[in-house]
Amino acid sequence: MLILLINELLAVFPLLNAFAYITTRTVAATFTSGIIVFFLSPTIIRYLKKHQKNGQPIRQDGPKRHIIEKSGTPTMGGFIILLGVLISSILWVDLNNKYVWIVGFVTISFGLIGFYDDFLKVTKSSPNGMKSLLKFLLQAGIAIITILYLLIFTDDFQPVVYVPFLKDFSINLGIFFLVFGALVIIGSSNSVNLTDGLDGLAIMPVMIAVGSFGLIAYLTGNVLFAEYLNIQYMSGSGELAIICGAVIGAGLGFLWYNAPPAMIFMGDTGSLSLGSIIGIIAIITKHELVLMIIGGLFVLEAISVIVQVISYRYTGKRIFKMAPLHHHFEQKGWSEATIVIRFWIISLILAMIGLLTLKLR
């Protein structure tokens, strides 16, 4: 929005030309969302505490100290993150960019699903919110509509998957890209949701992943960089770096209050929407498989749950002491801070490996 005003004032204030660059607006979006979240959070936290008598419902089969230490902590903090991201993005992105609206649609839609899920949990005072099937169908519907739009109304978007580390090698999935793309968005969203189980655990890996894809979006949106790195050029995708900057700023502001001991949890409102952002940007930039590397921590958390469920259902035995994976280490006696920081380190290492795929081809 501000880019329109800046264009009108360029003749009077030539220095404003700096904001014509994506890099400048990305930095501005980061600061804007960070300030919004940091200063609004105390007021919203007080409001949520007042209206959520019991706070976030805690799993009774989880670590016992969670019931003691985390009971009463308000949830739905993802609303604050989304508020910062949306306001900042609207201010600094080019609203004529089609990809901006696509990412916005997915983010808000998944955020609403998460919000309703959190609402049910709080009002029922139960860790069980929406029915799993209904949640999946809603997510699948949104994802399929989004992929269909990309395939039909975006000329330079093709149903092609590029394989990391292999030069000029891709797989054309044709109509099956609908299923593949939907699974990327749904999987990314729900794996972030599974990771969000300890104070500050999910938000930092989210920022690392979003920052990585912000760089990828910038590079794929620049024809010179794309040609040099031999990656698919996606006209207009560079504008998504600004949204990524807004997420990082909002994440930093939120982490101030979500750091142990957390004053607020992001809930499904935050985890589902933030995960969907990563998924849809990976699809737009044609780096879906790289997401499995950069978001490897989320993948591990999701796999731990899948393996645990399958093993217990068919053998009656548990592979892990508790799933998701972070709870397994809690049950082994690791402190919460140790788990959180080590998982942050792992996510950073995986992100660096993922970014290496841009050059190692």
Residues within the annotated binding site for Mg(2+)? 193, 268
Beta strands in the chain (DSSP E): 160-162, 170-172
Beta bridge partners of 172: 160
* CA end-to-end distance (rounded Å), the chain: 38
Q: How far apart are CA 355 and CA 358, in angstroms?
A: 6
Q: How far apart are CA 173 and CA 163, in angstroms?
A: 13
Secondary structure element (H or E) that encloses residue 277, with its range: helix 267-284
Residue 356 makes CB contacts below 8 A (sequence gap 6+) with none
Q: How far apart are CA 270 and CA 107, in angstroms?
A: 10
Q: How far apart are CA 215 and CA 231, in angstroms?
A: 13
**Cβ-defined contacts of 341-349 (< 8 Å, 24+):** 343/201, 343/205, 343/297, 344/204, 344/205, 344/208, 346/296, 346/297, 347/204, 347/205, 347/208, 347/209, 347/296, 347/297, 348/208
Please name the amino acid found at residue 123. Answer: T
Nearest Cα residue to 202 out of 135, 272, 138, 305: 272
Q: How is residue 171 annotated by DSSP? A: E
As annotated, the binding site includes 193, 268
Q: How far apart are CA 18 and CA 22, in angstroms?
A: 9
Please name the amino acid found at residue 258. Answer: N
Give Cα 352 distance to the centre of its chain.
Answer: 18
